[in-house]
Structure 1
Amino acid sequence: MRGFAISLYPECTRRTANAGHRPTANGRQKGSGALSLNSAATVATATPSALELAGAITNQLREYLDERRRDAAYIGAEYAALTAALEDFVLRGGKRLRPAFAYWGWRAVADPADPNDPNDPTDHTDPADPIDPNDPTHSADPTDPTDPTDPTDPPDPTDPNNPADPHNPKVLRLFAALEMLHACALVHDDVIDDSATRRGRPTVHEQFAGVHRRSGWRGSGARFGMSAAILLGDLALVWADDIVATAELPVDARRRVNRVWADIRTEVLGGQYLDIVAEASGAGSIGSAMAVNTYKTASYTVSRPLQLGVAAAADRPDVLAAFHEFGTDLGVAFQLRDDVLGVYGDPAVTGKPSGDDLRSGKRTVLLAEAIERAEHTDRAAAQLLHASIGTELSDEQVRQLCDVIAAVGALAAVENRIDTLTRRAVDVLHAAPIAEQAKIGLTELARLAANRSA
């Protein structure tokens, strides 16, 4: 959040600097046209802040997971170990960005109209407006203290769309489902990639493989760990669905929410499948990597969570369309930042080894850009990239590849993409027909997503 440390390129800073491609302290290259969302003109305080919102969402997750773990205790101690592991995985880290985007999507249309906005057609609080006696939203008596159009009336504390309560437990519980879905995606992604670490600790399948070994059980510990992790990820998805199914929503809102929730789940699985197809088929184009980014990350990280928040509050197709555009651009920028961190990130911050994507051979836009540029400008660099990516690499080999990627211009190109996409997203946001506080909150989230270090 605001306290994120920016400390990139631990393996590459020295050598890249010598090559004339010096990353700055926040991980960007000089001259890359770094996005400036931190100017005085754009910095404003949202209520709640990103940090406060993350804490409120974590509290909802803690309460829910505790309830579900205790409810499932009758199944036995063995299963309790699985539910406890899920609880630990969800609560021990994470930026809570997806629920935060959903929250601001909700606030975007749930906040009351600005009585000072003369262009707001939904503003019925202007005392100069004649009262329509046939309009049920107006009181015939302008002095009636129950008049719902009186801007001085306190909000109804029982209203589930009450924006006066920034920690509204009903909406935060609904949006916490996104974090459970995210847990499912992360655990299964680690199984697919056979990753060893996540958030600075062994992945779930590695943890359960260790349980198998320490217990002296029969069979393969690795296979047991994979099986347990698949089940844990499935449990996270089931509990996410349960949260959505039991959310207290009006009938129309439930219908809208269910539609968006179905799209989120379908698209994240589709993006994951595109990812494994690209890896298996050897598809290394920038276009194929961008398609994976759109569905595997952008959809379920930004655009669909925003739309989920809108759907919970109101029927606003105009805002859904604006958030699709904003969310796709920002979500792809978010994944491109992840691509950079997967090669240049500081392990102490990312919780993963430096150069992890180089060793795994992950088909990212950064690596596709590097190979494409090298093939046109530097045959030796292209040969090195083709021969090295996806193999076991020493720290020195990782540093060498970092230098090559920067030298052919791929790092600067991806940074420029991040800047362009984020600027375009913020322009769409500022033009969107939504509440001003939501614009402030979403601008803050955009800054975090584009400039994060983990």
Structure 2
Amino acid sequence: MLGLRSTTAEQAKPVEAPLTAIDATTSVETVLAQVLDARRRQAQDIDPVSAQDVADRITSFVQRGGKRLRTAFAWCGWRAAGGCGDATAVLRTGAALELVQACALIHDDVMDGSPIRRGAAAMHVDFEQMHLTDRMRGSPESFATAAAVLAGDMALVWADDLLTETALSTAHGVRLYGEWRDMRAEMVAGQYRDIHAEATGASGLDEAVVIAILKSALYTVERPLALGASLAAADDQTLDALRAAGRCAGLAFQLRDDLNGTFGDPALTGKPADDDLRTRKLTYLLAVALTLADTTGDTEAAEVLAPGALATSHESLARMRDAIERTGARAAAEAEISELAAMSLRYFARASSDPALRGEFAALVERASGAMAFRTGRPR
């Protein structure tokens, strides 16, 4: 009951609208801290062991970092649709999105076997170390996998609870929940398509784009924009423009993530730079490289990147990177990111005539995609 009473009290306190998207990302930290504190106390009331081992780890993971891009995009959608005044609902929606992100990252690291996240041990690796340190029985790996899956599930439960409470407190709750419901289903579908492509050795460009859209683009930008806009009773025209802007920016974000997952510096990205290659994940980058290798007759690159050609050493990883670079796929991805970013800003301009807000959105797209800012809505 402590957690429920605390949450209800939070909802009763209006939050003044942040002035900018950056202000929103700062304000959501306060909201997240309140929500996480309430959930931890609720977990403690239920069971102190799982509270310490699971709830505390989720809290630490959520507060350890993250760009809070989804919160910022939700704020942009809210403002583009005319949102102003009390920003409580949009900030709580942003906090729910950050909890969904925690769930997605924890589960993704388990599925990919990634050891590092946000510059520290991934959740399953942390649980495995706990198993070893505490001299627990059974397989450390099995325990760690199960515990991390449960931690991801709990983060999703917290996100759902927060979004439901927010939806019940606003006149636009039905629309808000509809966007949220679809977003969760898309995320699961995208994750499955990802592992299905890996298991079947898929290499097609169309398949890679579908995975990028479902797994990342929708819940990173398009759905946050629509969630924010739904809280301001956006009309269909505005929603359509925001969805198109979000789809383009979300794809640009995922393509940048593909590049970072192959050529990035772990010290800067906070995650390994070889996971995608090691598992031969079907990314847009890989699909383009295979297409270009086939087009140009680069049989060596095609063989290095073909299904079954898993990288198991530094040398084989280097050969895969060289093949991708040599085909021109890296340059093609960079060009596509720039074009998608520019398209995103053009669509957003249809939803908002406010130059300041368009500038805020441009800065977010630049931050998400690594593309140069297009402050005027045109590539510079």
TM-score (norm 2): 0.88
One of 224, 231, 235 as aligned partner of 1:316: 235
CA distance 1:48–1:398, change in 2 (3 Å)? farther
After the TM superposition, which residues 430-449 of structure 1 pair with which residues of structure 2 at under 5 Å, given as runs? Answer: 430-433=349-352, 435-449=354-368
One of 43, 47, 51 as aligned partner of 1:76: 47
- More off after superposition, 439-448 vs 86-95: 439-448
CA distance 1:343–1:248, change in 2 (3 Å)? closer
Contact residue 225 and residue 246 of structure 2 kept, 8 A:
yes
CA distance 1:357–1:389, change in 2 (3 Å)? farther
Q: Which residue of 1 aligns with 2:331?
A: 412
Deviation at 1:293, TM superposition (A): 0.7
Contact residue 187 and residue 233 of structure 1 kept, 8 A:
yes
AA partner of residue 185 (structure 2) = T
Does residue 207 (structure 1) correspond to residue 126 (structure 2)? The answer is yes
Does residue 61 (structure 1) correspond to residue 32 (structure 2)? The answer is yes
Contact residue 202 and residue 307 of structure 2 kept, 8 A:
no
Q: Which residue of 2 aligns with 1:106?
A: 78
AA partner of residue 26 (structure 2) = G
One of 369, 372, 383 as aligned partner of 2:291: 372
Contact residue 261 and residue 276 of structure 2 kept, 8 A:
yes
Does residue 180 (structure 1) correspond to residue 109 (structure 2)? The answer is no
Does residue 353 (structure 1) correspond to residue 272 (structure 2)? The answer is yes
Number of residue-to-residue matches in the alignment? 353
Cα distance in 2, alignment partners of residues 316 and 240 from structure 1: 26
AA partner of residue 181 (structure 2) = A
Q: Which residue of 2 aligns with 1:92?
A: 64
Cα distance in 1, alignment partners of residues 308 and 318 from structure 2: 12
Cα distance in 2, alignment partners of residues 277 and 401 from structure 1: 22
Q: Which residue of 2 aligns with 1:129?
A: none
Deviation at 1:110, TM superposition (A): 2.6
Unaligned runs of 5+ in 1: 1-46, 112-160
Deviation at 1:108, TM superposition (A): 1.2
Q: Which residue of 1 aligns with 2:378?
A: none
AA partner of residue 79 (structure 1) = S
Cα distance in 2, alignment partners of residues 412 and 431 from structure 1: 30
CA distance 1:387–1:278, change in 2 (3 Å)? closer
Q: Which residue of 1 aligns with 2:156?
A: 237
Contact residue 201 and residue 307 of structure 2 kept, 8 A:
no
One of 290, 296, 301 as aligned partner of 2:209: 290
Contact residue 208 and residue 282 of structure 2 kept, 8 A:
yes
Q: Over residues 225-273 of structure 1, what are the superposed CA-to-partner deviations in whole Å (9 max), with x where a residue is unaligned?
A: 1111111111111111111111166664011101111111111111111
Cα distance in 2, alignment partners of residues 84 and 450 from structure 1: 32
Does residue 222 (structure 1) correspond to residue 193 (structure 2)? The answer is no
Contact residue 311 and residue 317 of structure 2 kept, 8 A:
no
Deviation at 1:385, TM superposition (A): 2.5
Q: Over residues 7-64 of structure 1, what are the superposed CA-to-partner deviations in whole Å (9 max), with x where a residue is unaligned?
A: xxxxxxxxxxxxxxxxxxxxxxxxxxxxxxxxxxxxxxxx744443322212211121
CA distance 1:51–1:312, change in 2 (3 Å)? closer
Deviation at 1:205, TM superposition (A): 0.9
Q: Which residue of 2 aligns with 1:392?
A: 312
Q: Which residue of 1 aligns with 2:193?
A: 274
Q: Which residue of 2 aligns with 1:303?
A: 222
Cα distance in 1, alignment partners of residues 120 and 88 from structure 2: 31
Cα distance in 2, alignment partners of residues 387 and 308 from structure 1: 39
Contact residue 336 and residue 365 of structure 1 kept, 8 A:
yes
Contact residue 358 and residue 389 of structure 1 kept, 8 A:
no
Q: Which residue of 2 aligns with 1:120?
A: none
AA partner of residue 302 (structure 2) = A
Contact residue 319 and residue 434 of structure 1 kept, 8 A:
no
Q: Which residue of 2 aligns with 1:35?
A: none
AA partner of residue 53 (structure 1) = A
Unaligned runs of 5+ in 2: 1-17, 373-380
Contact residue 109 and residue 434 of structure 1 kept, 8 A:
no
CA distance 1:434–1:270, change in 2 (3 Å)? farther
Deviation at 1:209, TM superposition (A): 1.1
Contact residue 167 and residue 177 of structure 2 kept, 8 A:
no
Q: Over residues 250-300 of structure 1, what are the superposed CA-to-partner deviations in whole Å (9 max), with x where a residue is unaligned?
A: 664011101111111111111111111111111111110100111111110
Q: Which residue of 1 aligns with 2:8?
A: none
Cα distance in 1, alignment partners of residues 306 and 234 from structure 2: 50
Cα distance in 2, alignment partners of residues 397 and 192 from structure 1: 22
Q: Which residue of 2 aligns with 1:362?
A: 281
Deviation at 1:432, TM superposition (A): 2.4
Cα distance in 2, alignment partners of residues 403 and 427 from structure 1: 35
Deviation at 1:389, TM superposition (A): 4.8
AA partner of residue 67 (structure 1) = A
Q: Note the aligned Cα RMSD (angstroms).
A: 2.0
CA distance 1:250–1:211, change in 2 (3 Å)? closer
Q: Residue 60 of structure 2 aligns to a residue in which SS?
A: helix
Cα distance in 1, alignment partners of residues 370 and 124 from structure 2: 30
AA partner of residue 55 (structure 2) = T
- More off after superposition, 302-311 vs 251-260: 251-260
- Which structure has the bigger radius of gyration? 1
AA partner of residue 109 (structure 1) = A
Contact residue 89 and residue 231 of structure 2 kept, 8 A:
no
Question: Relative contact order: is structure 1 or structure 2 higher (C-alpha 8 Å, sep ≥ 6)?
Answer: 1
Deviation at 1:323, TM superposition (A): 1.0
Q: Point out the structure with the larger helix share.
A: 2
Cα distance in 2, alignment partners of residues 385 and 283 from structure 1: 11
Q: Which residue of 2 aligns with 1:26?
A: none
Deviation at 1:452, TM superposition (A): 7.3
Cα distance in 2, alignment partners of residues 250 and 87 from structure 1: 25
CA distance 1:314–1:50, change in 2 (3 Å)? closer
Q: Which residue of 2 aligns with 1:381?
A: 301
